[in-house]
Structure 1
Amino acid sequence: MRSFIVDIVSLGVVVRCCVSAAEVDYTQYVNVFQGTISGGNRFPGVVAAPFAMVKLGPDVQSGKKDAYSGYLPDGSIWGFSMMHESGTGGAPKYGVVSQMPALGNVTNPLADLSRGRATADEGQIGYYKSSLSGGIKVELTATEHAGLYQYSFPAGNLSAVVVDVSHVLPSFRGLGWEQHYSKGSFDLFPDGHYEGSGTYNNGWNIAPDWTIHFCGRFEQKPAISKTFRGNGTTPKSYDSTPSVSGPERLGGVFTFRNSSVTSRVGISFTSTTKACQNIKNEIPSGTSFQSLVVKAKSRWNAEVLSKIQVSSTNKTELELLYSSLLGMFLIPSNRTGENPGWNSTEPYYDDVFTLWDTHRCHTSLFQIVQPVSYEEFIRSLIDIWRHDGFMPDARSSNFNGRVQGGSNADNVLADAYVKGVSGAINWEDGFSAMQTDAEKVPPPNNDPRAPDSSTKEGRGALPDCLKYGYITPAFTRAVSRAVEYSTNDFGLHQVAKGLGKAAEAEKYLIRSRNWRNHWNPNATSEGHSGFVVPRWANGSFVPQDPLSCDNSWIYSMNAIHDVALLKQWIGGDERFVDRIDKLFELNIFNAGNEPGFTSPFLYNFVPGMQHRSVERSRNISTRYNGGAGGLPGNSDAGAMESNILWQMIGLWPMTDQTTFLILSPWFPHMTIYLGSDNKLEITTSGGNKDTAFYVQSLKVNGKQWDKAWVAWQDVFANGGTMEFVLGPSPANWATGPPPPSPASGDL
């Protein structure tokens, strides 16, 4: 039985004591509404376990606003559906297999049945509640592949539940990424249950037709069961016909004389038979609603929340910590056994959104908190390559897409490889998957937003890279792609080197320096010279004011495998520090934009400047809280939450490397459980999080430490200890060698 240290405040005295982890319900500190407003786009509904396939929650309409996760704080609810994404942008995805309660006899199921809320929605892990106008209350809970709806209607009235197969989250942005309903089927059975399927397409990843199957049962017998079909808002048929199918809107209406109605629904990507089996296996008849809530809390406590334990009674800090941990593990979705595309014994994860965001700091913490699932995730990426030809940079509804920059599954695999993730991973296949990205041009997918090349998978601008060693303006996002391709190639170098492939290791190390070919030493901005800019096919640089495109400032600092060379080209340590400072002075740095995540901590590469990274970290942390507006930008599938979690830990991961830059921890005591009975214990003394947070000295595994960085092997591979002494003023404690710059050679 694990135990941890907590502070208990009694009569003004702080008492240290040990409490069994099993006795602590960390879900009490979780606000499921964290990041649901101000552009965070988090999903607040029921996710019964980390990466559960079912994400059951409300779908809200409010004018012409896109409800990316289905949820909006204002507006009317027009359905409660089984599938959602979390923290995504671009355009909504899913919002399918929906139910909507109604009062009285529903005469037109295709009419707008939406209702406003009587009070604000409520939620906690495993539970969601909406109180609608007219006295209707909807309570939700779920398992991994099934959902449980509990309706309460005003007594003395007929009540109804409408299942509309055409229900899907719309988009109003006009980007051509809106979802479409293609066709469906709905079958009523003599025993009262129903089965069916819906086929949909498009969405943010421009997917072709995909199908989800469903199966539903009511605990109470309906007084009347009908099917319907039609176009627009006019039914063509509305009767007791047992089966309807086709491209029209269709579904079923179930009318009850009960004031309390319970509905069980299962879903499956493979068949209605499997959907029905999912109900039988996970929510058999008579299952207590509360038992599912308790089970969900137990799983989140055991599998995620208890993995990081701290000594604190500060509810604000605890809410930020544990709400952020929840947000990290809502997606991807573990769909092992639910893959309709191919038969395989390998794990299968979908709803990968997007590795362009998450490879920077999310996947490295994913490995630490959920090592078993992380190995499965890596195997899934490789298996997708085996069957679909490319690993995804993003994936949803069993279809790769989108790519926003590089082929960043390469970074994810390399980061896992250098940190010793093995298990059942076939690393020869993994390297071959990475080589496909590096050598094979993906066919165009005709994205209207980027018609020059594929935005589905792989490296669309690869032809220029192979021909010139840089990317011309013939391709969109030339500079950001070029820098990301360089980091991707460094990932290939790392894996090739580990596998003993000397020739490939050398080849991709050289290619990892291609970002240098975009460096124009004569490009000037705000007193600085040297920026990455686009380059024409004839070799000349495109004239560009780096300040006119913030990406030039941001991506000029993004070759994190080649920092020693970068420092030299910027003009040395002093100019390098000023370059980072300018990101803040000119308001170029955006805490809500992942490409700039690492820049604030590059001070660690300059002797005596580690304290500046700490200052930036503390400033960035003010943009976060555990509330509904508590994220500085789109959650991006938990990328934003992992950012603040690393800063609370006091470390920062360098992708594709075993290096972690040292910041300053928040808590007097933190224990991170690493699996296999290993743990990392981080302690602080002599200071505090808010006013005395500068590192004065550090011991790692009991030995005095003089480097502004640690390696995976030091503290994570087998666990370890980090003992910080903090104080109110900077101290020059990090006098040892700087962090590695593995692509910079002997500089």
Structure 2
Amino acid sequence: MAFAQQSLIRYVQPFSGTSASTTLASQHIEDKTERLANTIPAVAPPFSMTQWTPQTQLSEKKCLAPYYYNNKKFYGFRASHWLSGSCTQDYGSFTIMPISGSLKTQAAQYAENYVHQNEVSTPSYYKLKLPQHQLLTEITASLRCGIMRITALKTDSVYVLVSPNSDQNRGFIQIDPVKGEISGYNPVHRIYQGWGEPAGFSGYFFIRFKKSFTSAGVYSEGHIFNQQNISNKKDIGAFAGFRLKKGEQLVVYSGTSFTSINAAKANLESEIKKDDFNTVLARTNQVWEKSLSQIRISDTNEKGKKIFYTALYHAMQHPRLYNDVDGKYPRFGGKYQYETINRRQYYDDFSMWDIYRAQLPLIELLQPRLANNLVNSMILKGEQGGWMPIFPCWNNYTAAMIGDHTTAFIASAYHKGIRNYDINEAYRLMRKNAFQMPDSVDYLNGKGRRGINSYLKYGYIPMDDSIPDAYHKKEQVSRTLEYAYDDYALATIAKDLGKENDYRELSNRSLNYRHIFDPSVGMVRGRFANGNWYEPFYPDHREPYITEGTPRQYTFYVPHDMPGLISLMGGPKNLENELDSLFHKKEYWHGNEPGHQIPFLYNYTPSSWKTQLQVSRIMTEEYGEGAGGLSGNDDAGQMSAWYVFAALGFYPVDPVSGNYQLSSPLFKQAILSFNNGKKLTITAIKKSQKSIYSSKIILNGKPFTKREITHQLLLQGGKLIFYLQDHPPRL
């Protein structure tokens, strides 16, 4: 096959993260549910509308991915909208299952025993032999469509079952035997704020066969009906029957859309037309090869290259393309209303609490045009729904997680020169989030910052405010810390736009982290409205005022004002001591996103070499090969993007600043190709394979003595050389 000759796609391991972690760090994970990274072996181009995955789970239930490597049954190929590496939900999906012999329509009867022999998985192609049904199945995809090739390994009757995957017994499917078509939809519902309510759109599909049906029908709960459509019943589906000779192939063309069946058909006719399987595969191979080759690694470390390019693949799954080829997409937070975008693309599924830290900055670095589309998509959501969303998924407000990091993302893009959108309109919407409380209806619908009134009144969110109208309740200290960062982010834009009053007020609010830092314990801590501290204080326990972590871990989340935090801690050496304590106690938790910057904070201490030590250790312990190669939820590519940056030797501790903290590169050479036509060659000259400590850095022939490097300096290209040794430099 064509994919075998590709130079980089072969390093990607799509099964990584699809089984319980086997990494060195997994034995230390506090929350055992975090041992599942919840990725899927997705077949699709980067940032596509629909990913195609083998299906080993039938449900769209929250926190249940459609695929796990060690499951024993195979139920077909799912056209999925699963948020990669998450604990959310799949939605609007449907499944295609080819079977042979007699017709069976109940999953328990037609399920194939799933074995990994004769299986091939790449980002653009998946192949699986079904021994029980004696069928060879292959699938590839375009941005909005899929194409499946089924080869009969014996002469027999073959049936293709198509099932909308509604857990709510909703949906519709119809057949047209004369035209050789199956189409339908699976309604989407919300979770978090508005849980269970209609999301205002459906996942639509249109399927075309080149071969005439010998039989066709619809079914529900195993009962077959002699009619051409069925809706709103349990386990509905449609089947198309064929007679195939040994070696004969059946090709199934599928289009998807979030607006209508006709749009799904139009997407198919535009993207795939009548192209054969190999033509579509070759195109998707080329797309992935071009995307992966923006970072070209030269090294004999084959294991490292597999982990790196797998991470890059995972970091290119989301956000999700939402508009059809004609620009139509469902209105954000709407009720089956539609909008049309011109000359741009509209995206959704932003796991914003996670991805603003490294995954979106990676997009800003490598694909600024996409980043422009992402910012513009956020502005459209704010205009259509009235409030800038916090964590927009399934094209709705969710109020999931904490913070207001759409603001941080837009500020990050803006200060990197990514500005092809209306920044004044963006500012208006971001400011509304930062200064106003929605009315009760909007607030319950997931709009606005949780606890904003308390935050504005006290300068922190006191323990007295339990944040009742949120999926994550309480977590007051973490919210205060993250709002302070978002206030800083908005302040930087206010300054640039000449809004001096806003700039001064937001800058002052960015220091609100000081209000929940208790000098008597040297850490952040829950605090009541009267100023009293929450008792008792357990620095290394999960506390109700902390999000997914401990007070010790969250104390280091002040990425925008490290000098201020250092002052509170008593100086750079005390910061170093506190970092040492965290790592010695094994309290660093890589699965807790607000801790991702912690290893790089040694750059603010007298011992910056400890950044190189800890980053190297984390890359070794938290990432590996095989299905268990991730230590925790990948969270829409954030864990993976961390690895990409760390392996290159720099990381965006504060993405808004446009600065990256330096560590040391993993590979002998990495060449980054930027959209401006420039190339940056990062070279590591090592004394031995164990060399991780930087003795000197040379940028374009001149010594570089800083511990951080700017975004603009990277984009200028050239040569960045790290000289590495086995031992830390003498102090």
TM-score when normalising by structure 2? 0.87
Task: Write out per-residue CA displacement over residues 349-372 of structure 1, whole angstroms, 9 at most, x where no aligned residue.
Answer: 444241111111111111111121
Give the aligned residue type for 1:676: N
Query: Corresponding residue for 1:388?
Result: 385
Distance (whole Å) between structure 1 residues aligned to residue 430 and residue 314 of structure 2: 29
Aligned length: 676
Q: Secondary structure at the match of 2:540?
A: helix
CA contact (8 A) 2:92 2:186 kept: no
Tell me how far 1:380 sits from its aligned partner: 0.8
The answer to whether structure 1 residue 33 and structure 2 residue 15 are counterparts is yes
Deviations 1:211-242 (A, max 9, x none): 122111112211001123x4xx253x511x22
Report the counterpart of residue 32 of structure 2 in structure 1: none
Distance in 1 between the 2:84 and 2:104 partners?
Answer: 37
Find the counterpart in structure 2 of residue 552 from structure 1.
551
Contact kept? 1:351, 1:395, Cα under 8 Å? yes
- Which of 77, 102, 105 is residue 105 of structure 1 equivalent to? 102
Kindly tell me: are residues 136 and 118 of structure 1, through their superposed partners in 2, closer, same or farther at Cα, counting changes over 3 Å? farther
More RCO (CA 8 Å, sep 6+): 2
Change (3 A) 1:138 1:393: farther
- Asked if residue 300 in structure 1 is aligned to residue 288 in structure 2, the reply is yes
Q: 1:326 — aligned with what?
A: 313
SS at match of 2:691: coil
Corresponding position: 1:367 with 2:364: yes
Whether the 8 Å CA contact 1:182–1:200 is kept in 2: the answer is: no
Partner of 1:485: 483
Task: Supply the AA of the counterpart residue of 2:494.
Answer: A
Contact kept, 8 Å, 2:348 with 2:377, in 1: the verdict is no
Structure 1 Cα separation of the partners of residues 257 and 230 of structure 2: 20
1:244 aligned to 204, 227, 230, which one? 230
Q: How does 1:606-617 map to 2 (within 5 A)?
A: 606-607=605-606, 609-617=607-615
Letter in 2 for 1:356: W
Distance apart, 1:305 and its partner CA? 0.8
Unmatched runs of 5 consecutive residues or more in structure 1: 1-22, 169-178, 447-452, 523-528, 734-747
The aligned runs of 1:39-438 (5 Å cut-off) are: 39-47=36-44, 49-61=45-57, 67-94=64-91, 96-106=93-103, 108=105, 112-120=109-117, 121-134=119-132, 135-165=134-164, 167-168=165-166, 180-188=168-176, 190-203=178-191, 206=195, 208-209=197-198, 210-228=201-219, 230=220, 233=221, 235=223, 238-239=225-226, 241-247=227-233, 249-259=235-245, 260-285=249-274, 287-302=275-290, 304-336=291-323, 337-341=327-331, 342-345=338-341, 347-422=344-419, 424-438=420-434
1:263 and 1:83, CA in 2 relative to 1: closer, same or farther beyond 3 A?
same
Q: 1:246 to 1:34 in 2, by over 3 A?
A: closer
For the pair 1:463 / 2:470, whether they are aligned, the reply is no
Q: Secondary structure at the match of 1:634?
A: coil
Q: Which moved more, 1:342-351 or 1:94-103?
A: 342-351
Q: CA deviation at 1:692?
A: 1.7
How much does 1:694 deviate?
1.0
What is the rounded CA distance, in whole Å, between the counterparts of 2:85 and 2:486 in structure 1? 23
- Tell me how far apart the structure 2 counterparts of residues 318 and 339 of structure 1 sit (CA, whole Å): 38
Could you tell me how far apart the structure 1 residues matched to 2:406 and 2:190 are?
23
Deviation at 1:79, TM superposition (A): 3.0
- Paired with 2:407 and 2:718, the residues of 1 have a C-alpha distance of 29
Q: Which residue of 1 aligns with 2:545?
A: none
Structure 1 residues 460 and 95: alpha-carbon distance in aligned structure 2, compared to 1, 3 A threshold: same
Deviations 1:129-171 (A, max 9, x none): 2233412332111111111122234423222111122x24xxx
Who is 2:29 aligned against? none
Instruction: Between 342-351 and 499-508, report the one with greater CA deviation.
Output: 342-351
Q: What is the CA distance between 1:705 and its match in structure 2?
A: 2.1
CA–CA distance in structure 2, aligned partners of residues 338 and 117 of structure 1: 39
Partner Cα distance (1:724, 1:234) in 2: 64
- Three-state SS of the structure 2 residue aligned to 1:396 is coil
Output the CA distance in 1 between the equivalents of 2:412 and 2:105: 55
- Gaps spanning 5+ residues in structure 2: where? 21-35, 332-337, 468-473, 543-548
2:362 and 2:63 map into 1 onto residues whose CA distance is 30
The DSSP-based 3-state class of the residue aligned with 2:306 is: helix
Q: Does 1:519 align with 2:517?
A: yes
- After superposition, the Cα gap between the structure-2 partners of 1:551 and 1:344, relative to the gap in structure 1 and judged at 3 Å, is farther
**1:444 and 1:185, CA in 2 relative to 1: closer, same or farther beyond 3 A?**
farther
2:428 aligned partner, one-letter code: S
- Which residue of structure 1 lines up, in the alignment, with residue 578 of structure 2? 579
Q: Summarize the Cα distance change of 1:563–1:694 in structure 2 as closer, same or farther, 3 Å threshold.
A: same
Deviation at 1:95, TM superposition (A): 6.7
Code of the residue aligned with 2:539 in structure 1: it is P
More off after superposition, 133-142 vs 613-622: 133-142
Residues 344 and 101 (structure 1), Cα distance of their counterparts in 2 relative to 1, 3 Å cut: closer
Partner of 2:528: 536
Relative to 1, partners in 2 of residues 1:395 and 1:182: Cα closer, same or farther, differing over 3 Å?
farther
Deviation at 1:318, TM superposition (A): 1.6
- The answer on whether the counterparts of 2:517 and 2:525 sit within 8 Å (CA) in structure 1 is yes
Contact 2:175–2:216 under 8 Å retained in 1: no
**Per-residue deviation, 1:520:** 1.5
Structure 1 range deviating more: 594-603 or 253-262? 253-262
Higher strand share: 1
Deviates more, 1:468-477 or 1:183-192: 183-192
**1:631, 1:401 → 2: CA distance?**
27
What is the CA-CA distance between 1:399 and the residue it aligns to? 1.6
When residues 112 and 409 of structure 1 are mapped into structure 2, their CA distance, relative to the original with a 3 A threshold, is: farther
The SS at the match of 1:675 is coil
Letter aligned with residue 680 of structure 2: L
Whether the 8 Å CA contact 1:687–1:693 is kept in 2: the answer is no
CA distance in 2, matches of 1:704, 1:224: 74
Give a deviation string over 1:438-461, Cα, whole Å, max 9, x none.
123346689xxxxxx758353111
Separation in structure 1 between the aligned mates of residue 108 and residue 364 of structure 2, nearest angstrom: 47
For 1:414-466, what per-residue CA distance to the aligned partner results, in whole angstroms no more than 9, with x for missing partners? 111111111x21111111121122123346689xxxxxx75835311111101
Comparing 212-221 with 706-715, greater Cα deviation is found at 706-715
Question: Which letter maps to 1:558?
Answer: Y
Q: Please give the root-mean-square deviation of Cα atoms over the aligned residues, in Å.
A: 2.5
- Residue deviations 1:102-151, cap 9 Å, x none? 22232555765322224344211211122334123321111111111222
